[in-house]
Structure 1
Amino acid sequence: MSEYQYYEFAAIDRPLTQSEMAKLRAISTRAVITPGGFTNHYEWGDLKADPAEWMRHYFDAFVYSANWCSCHLSLRLPKAAFDKAELRPFIAPTTLSVEFSDTHWILDWTLDESEDYDRFAEDDGSGWMRRLIPLRDELLRGDLRPLYLGWLAAGDALDDDTQEPDVPPGLTELSPAQQALVEFLEIDPDLFEAASTGSAASMPAGDEETTRMTPWLDTWQVSDMKDMLTKLALGHGQEAERQVKSRYAAWLKAQRPVAPDSPRRRVAELRGLAQSVAAIRRVREAKAHAKREAERRRQHKAKLRQLMASPDESWKAADTHAARGGASGYDQAMRILAELAEGYALVSSREAFDRELRRFLVPHARRAALLRRLADAGLWPG
């Protein structure tokens, strides 16, 4: 099987210039290149450029997928979006790394060596950018859940004694893009559910939250409010929203300080919780399976009773198929005969079925292939 690699880049904060597009075209003659991005796939060759370098100079988002069970997401954000201390706790071996320049952060989420071979055999990579790109806006607005998911995806690569980062609120109600990131990184669902138990509810909306915000707004200086309004007027709404939410979150934290005797969980504790979650899930799944099986059996018995309301019709149908001969005819006849055997066992007896079967076989006694099928199915002594 040939190799397959998919590359997609997106320019969001500013479009590519004609000169930049010409430089990209010189590298790839087959790619789809527009002011908003670059898309190409390779089955034998590879991109003759460094994606990390392109992210530094041209693009704000990058998705990569290869059929050797590997995928990658990069997002470039303005340096003002975070400070280094906010990002450092989320950096994780193999799954989330951070690069910075004078003007930007570049965040990288990576999945290596997936065991879901069917996914990478069937998925050409083309749908992930659309699903994952909203993560950039969420991060710009101060939502830290994508970072926590990147850390959690490290899974077995984390040491037992490693402390988890502060758990962001709202893990139990992920956005569609965050749910896509869980799928993209193949985060263990039991570990995710265990981690979610440490997540507070997301910020309430509506009148209740407006009332809670009033004393916080009273702490604002007029100059600060003017600064935020200026950002909005100049089209920097994301930056303004992120700063306002960051200030509000800091104020709330100050009102409800974390008790010193409430340490963050260690990875070993998360793994223990995940094992408990898995045990509960298996019990729940077993009950659901038993319920489905009971319903299936109920429906099957109802079908058999309906068949046995007029069994002569089924015997005639089986006779017609058997008389036609050939593998198809015999297989159709066997399907009907097997249902009749179940039906007689349910509402009458096996002896009654055997009597009808002997009568049925009188004109078909020389059809060796049919008799052999009956013997293999245990419906005839052979």
Structure 2
Amino acid sequence: MSEYQYYEFAAVDRPLTPQQQTELRSHSSRAAITATGFINEYHWGDLKGDPLAWVERYFDAHVYSANWGSCRLLLRLPRGTFDEATLNGFTPPSPDGLDSAFGVHRTASHWILDWCFHDDSGELERFWTEADGPGWMTRLLPLRDELLRGDLRPLYLGWLARVCNDEVDDTDVEPPVPPGLQSLTPAQAALVEFLLIDPDWLSAAAVASPNTEDSADSDGQADAWLSLQSPEDMRKTLRLLLAGAGQQAERELKGRFLAWQRSQQRPGQAYAERRTLARIAEGYDEARTARLDRERRAADALAARQREEREKYLRRLSEQADEIWASVDETLQRGSGAAYDQALHAVRELADALALAGRPADFDLGLARLQASHGKRAAWVARLDKAGIGRGEA
């Protein structure tokens, strides 16, 4: 298996300057570099640079995948997005010598959130293809905007990735459980897939997560907060809107509102009671059983639909038996291996169709007529014999 690595970086808040693009070009002559990103694939060698340092200096997001079973997501967010205590709740110290599946890097102006996965077994088929890297950035980048708007679910998913990485002990207490874990956004579902988070751990943890509708901010809360805003605060938001910075205005407004909400809540009011990992694990087997049952029922339903469609197809085929025999006769006259294979497929389908219709004698009669013209074609007869057709085994 040849080596394959995929690197992609995205600049969201500010495009790269020409000087920055020149600096990046000095690290790679083959990369696709634009004002908004850097993409390169490696079949040998490696990136001549540190992805974490590049995100700190140039980019807002980075996705990496390697076919030996490693992947990584970095997202850079302004420091005002979260307070340090909030992030610490999701990223307690990991056991010595173990690479963490989720961590946070602090810079002077930003937090850099770091999710990663390593397949030590080398058995996951996902990484064996060179198609794993492209497409992840598009699916995962919306997480950044969700985080900027105060959604903590990606942080909790990072903690669950730590659970799956054996970084969490049974006596360790989970971080605050955000609402909506039972109904993830498409980007959050992609993060679960990217990090190969065990769906049964997610289901067991999500039991304590309130619905987003149940935890939605009431109009009364919003009105109470708005009444406290100064004219200058409101003008600042309106200036951003007039300048075309609608997303920035929304993020800053939502951030201030969420901070006010937290200040109004009594300890323990915002979230459900926090559980130990052992307590969450009590629901793991139940979640696994429920998932396997759903998958079995889905598989049974799919098989039933496929059988029904197959029977409809065979019924239509049985009504066209004469035309099919004539088509097979014409195909065999070409005398090639491909023609024999095509004819054999048609004959086998017709055998099933006439058997379903209760007309096996019609099939035997049609085959006898066909063989009267083509029974001396040794390669064709060999195919029939191997398929058990014409010997009472059709």
Q: What TM-score do you get using the length of structure 1 for normalisation?
A: 0.82
Instruction: Report if aligned partners of 1:81, 1:242 keep a CA contact under 8 Å in 2.
Output: yes
Alignment of 1:101-120 (within 5 A): 101-113=107-119, 115-118=123-126
Counterpart among 249, 255, 279 of residue 242 in structure 1: 255
User: Which among 227, 237, 242 is matched to residue 232 of structure 1?
Assistant: 237
The match for 1:362 is 372
For residues 96-138 of structure 1, give each alpha carbon's deviation from its aligned partner in whole angstroms, at most 9, with x where no partner exists. 1112234332211112227543456232634333333332232
Whether 2:209 is the aligned partner of 1:209: answer no
Alpha carbons 1:7, 1:65 under 8 Å: kept = yes
In 2, Cα distance between equivalents of 1:357 and 1:20: 74
C-alpha distance in 2 between matches for 1:315 and 1:14 = 68
Structure 2: runs of 5+ lacking an equivalent: 95-99, 241-247
**Structure 2: distance between partners of 1:11 and 1:366:** 70
Residue 198 of structure 1: how far off its partner (Å): 1.8
Pair 22,169 (structure 1): closer, same or farther in 2 beyond 3 Å: same
SS in 1 for 2:104: strand
- CA contact 2:179–2:215 (8 Å) conserved in 1: no
Aligned to 2:204: 194
1:50 aligns with 50
2:10 and 2:61 in contact (8 A); partners too: yes
Give yes or no for contact 1:69–1:117 (8 Å, CA) kept in 2: no
What is the CA deviation profile of residues 8-27 of structure 1, one whole-angstrom value per residue up to 9, with x for unaligned ones?
33344445455544443433
Unaligned runs of 5+ in 1: none
Q: 1:183 is matched by which residue type in structure 2?
A: E
Q: Tell me the residue number matched to 2:292.
A: 282
Partner in structure 2 of residue 257 of structure 1 = 269
Mark the CA change 1:289 to 1:50 in structure 2 (over 3 Å): closer, same or farther.
closer
1:257 partner amino acid: Q
Q: Separation in 2 of the partners of 1:319 and 1:17?
A: 69
Question: Paired residue for 2:154, among 133, 146, 159?
Answer: 146
1:371–1:380 contact (8 Å) kept in structure 2: no
Aligned to 1:7: 7
Point out the more displaced range, 172-181 or 19-28: 19-28
What's the offset of the Cα at 1:35?
A: 4.8
Q: Which residue matches 2:97?
A: none
Alignment of 1:280-359 (within 5 A): 280-309=290-319, 311-351=321-361, 353-359=363-369
Structure ranking higher in helix proportion: 1
For the 8 Å contact 2:4–2:130, the answer to whether it is kept is no
What is the CA RMSD across the aligned residues, in angstroms?
A: 3.4
* Displacement after TM superposition at 1:226 (Å): 4.7
Report what 2:144 is aligned to.
136
**How many angstroms apart in 2 are the aligned matches of 1:350 and 1:284?**
39
Contact kept? 1:61, 1:133, Cα under 8 Å? yes
Shift of the 326–104 alpha-carbon distance from structure 1 to 2, 3 Å rule, reads: closer
Contact preservation (8 Å) 1:142, 1:246: no
Contact 2:102 2:115 in 1 (8 A): yes
Deviation string, structure 1 residues 122-168 (Cα, Å, up to 9, x no partner): 32634333333332232222221111111112314233333221111
For 2:31 and 2:126, locate their aligned partners in 1 and report how far apart those are by CA, in whole Å.
Answer: 26
Question: Partner of 1:167 in structure 2?
Answer: 177
Letter in 2 for 1:294: A
* SS across alignment from 1:53: helix
Match of 1:172, SS state, is coil
Q: Displaced runs of 4+ in structure 1, greater than 6 A? A: none
TM-score scaled by length of structure 2: 0.80
Give the partner amino acid of 1:282. L
| 8 Å CA contact retained: 1:164, 1:264 | yes
